[in-house]
Amino acid sequence: MDIGWDDLRLFLDVARLGGLSAATGTTRLSAATLGRRVTALEKQIGEPLFVRQQTGYRLTPVGEELLRRAEDVEAAMQSLTRWREGNLPCFAARRRSGKPQASIGRQLSRMLALMPWPGSSAVRPWP
């Protein structure tokens, strides 16, 4: 299962703001597009992430678990962005050394691959 960072960002916005309409302002996507993307993410995970109500979207237990993990990914992505932009000391030293830089996409893929998902029997340790 390959969950993309873009899908997780949309999920975070819908979860934090409580619905599609509210998330249209931050994502600049229509409610219909957001709804399709959320539904696709649910199919990819194999579980519903939200209980849809007239007043908004409420997270299911699986959605709450994904929210915690997506927030971890978000923090890691923010750290990688700061690192890439040279705002962390280790990046500046590596840039001067001439060694090739790791791709943010590769780092995210590695991190997502290590996450246990609903229905998974194995919990893999984070390095």
Distance CA 101, CA 9 (A): 24
Residue 123: its pLDDT value, please?
A: 46
Write the pLDDT tens digit of every residue in 39-62.
999 999 999 999 999 999 999 999
What residue ranges in 20-60 does DSSP mark as E strands?
A: 50-53, 56-59
Residue 40: its pLDDT value, please?
A: 96
Distance CA 76, CA 73 (A): 5
Q: Which residues contact 91 (CB under 8 A, 6 or more apart)?
A: 83, 84, 85, 101
Write the pLDDT tens digit of every residue in 61-73.
999 999 999 999 9
CATH class of 5-114: mainly alpha
Let me know: does 118 contact 46? Beta carbons within 8 Å.
yes
Write the pLDDT tens digit of every residue in 82-123.
888 886 565 455 555 555 555 666 666 666 666 665 655 544
Alpha-carbon dihedral sign for residues 4, 7, 11, 17: positive
Which pTM value belongs to this model? 0.68
